[in-house]
Amino acid sequence: MTASALIAAARKLSATVDAMRFAAPATHVYNPLDYAWGIHESYLARYGDGKKRVVFLGMNPGPFGMVQTGTPFGEIAVVRDWLGLAGAVGTPTWPNPQRPVEGFACARSEVSGRRLWGLFQQRFGTADAFFADHFVANYCPLAFFVGGRNLTPDKLPAAEQTPLLAACDQHLRELVAALEPEWVIGIGAWAQARAQAALGAASKVKTGRILHPSPASPAANRGWSEAASRQLVELGVWPDDAASLNQAE
């Protein structure tokens, strides 16, 4: 089963990154594949079976998304109500008082996740319809903080970044080998670049990218859903089917 391969690969990645050590500027490092493993495993088991034509690839967990729910771009309402996932979430080994893990009790919204999954809900209606041909994963499973501020993996010191990227590249290759997608779509330029580096020029898998839905991006705050849909249509990933979008609304 494809899902079994994804679960095994995620377990291996989690163990590999757990053995790594990160110093300043990072003050705290969270691994949701540890303390929220039950939900992440349920996500892979329920939605990771079978081949997928398109894999959407994010950067790493957001503080109010996957950090809380163990699910990529895991806006709580979406994970609970659309994906139908629930369960207990544990505590990171070294909790950050400025970024507590409250699981499904977290009252904050992961805007990136709300926008991303909102587009998929709008276009496909049900989670099963979306996942019949698509999947969403994060390249790196770790969340890094400098106090209450996010630190993205690309800002880590080179000595720490190199082994981390190697482990994440290997995991991405295993995920692609299991799902056999036609496309890997980076959610943002960095994710696309990592997919290209991991898969190599000889790969038959096509790569592209969409605008990252982060509220930190001025462009994303001006009609992100329409911009991302247009990019996917222009790439040839999605058909130009405005009628179906209007009907879904």
Q: Which domains does the chain have, with CATH numbers?
A: 2-248 (3.40.470.10)
Distance CA 193, CA 243 (A): 33
Instruction: With CA atoms as reference, report the closest residue to 213 among 201, 224, 198.
Output: 224
At 71, the amino acid letter reads T
Distance CA 68, CA 61 (A): 9
Distance CA 165, CA 139 (A): 9
Distance CA 192, CA 184 (A): 8
pLDDT value, residue 241 = 73
For the entire predicted model, the pTM comes to: 0.95
Task: Confirm if 14 and 30 have CB atoms less than 8 A apart.
Answer: no
226 burial level (CB within 10 Å; 0-12, 13-18, 19+): exposed
What proportions of the chain, in percent to the nearest 5, are helix, strand and coil? 50, 10, 40
How many CA atoms are closer than 13 Å to the CA of 192, on its beta-carbon side? 13
Task: Confirm if 186 and 193 have CB atoms less than 8 A apart.
Answer: yes
Q: Provide the greatest CA pair distance for the chain.
A: 51
Task: Confirm if 105 and 25 have CB atoms less than 8 A apart.
Answer: no
H helix runs in 96-220, sequence order: 111-124, 127-131, 158-179, 189-199
pLDDT value, residue 245 = 44
pLDDT averaged over 10-residue windows placed end to end, the chain, 249 residues: 96 98 96 98 98 98 98 97 97 96 97 98 98 98 97 97 98 98 98 98 97 95 97 97 48
